[in-house]
Amino acid sequence: MSTELGRQAEQAAAEYAQRLGYTVLAQNWRTRWCEIDLIVKKAQVILFVEVKYRRTASFGGGLDYVTSRKLLQMHFAAEFWLAKHQQQAYHYRLAVAEVSGPAFEVTAWLDDVS
């Protein structure tokens, strides 16, 4: 997948999160050790969102590609971000957004895959 397709999928997920009442804190946050596609907040909860884009479901949906290893990486990245931004007092959850098709439609949103 190209970087441009990934960015469009992340933007679609960010707009979807805003429609759900979340505030976007960061998009495509990266360090040399970890990355997070989307970070959103509502009330006292921060969601760290993995965005998975699939043009078609021929090889499975995006949710099928979130492995236990990916969840470990997401936990590490979330803890790293919270420490770096001095936000340890917030509760956090890991989430996944599945974005599909040429119109970049959010077809699934799981807000707790921790």
Per-residue pLDDT of the chain (114 residues; tens, 9 = 90+): 567 888 899 999 999 999 999 999 999 999 999 999 999 999 889 999 999 887 655 555 556 667 889 899 999 999 999 989 887 667 899 999 999 888 898 988 988 887
Number of Cβ within a 10 Å radius of residue 7:
15
pLDDT value, residue 59: 54
Q: Which domain holds residue 83?
A: 3-110
* Number of independent structural domains in the chain: 1
pLDDT value, residue 94: 95
Distance of CA 7 to the CA centre of its chain: 12
Are residues 82 and 92 in contact, defined by beta-carbon separation less than 8 angstroms? yes
Residue 44's domain is classified under what CATH number? 3.40.1350.10
Percent helix, strand, coil in the chain, to 5, is 35, 35, 30
Are residues 39 and 85 in contact, defined by beta-carbon separation less than 8 angstroms? no
Q: Which residues pair with 54 in a beta bridge?
A: 100
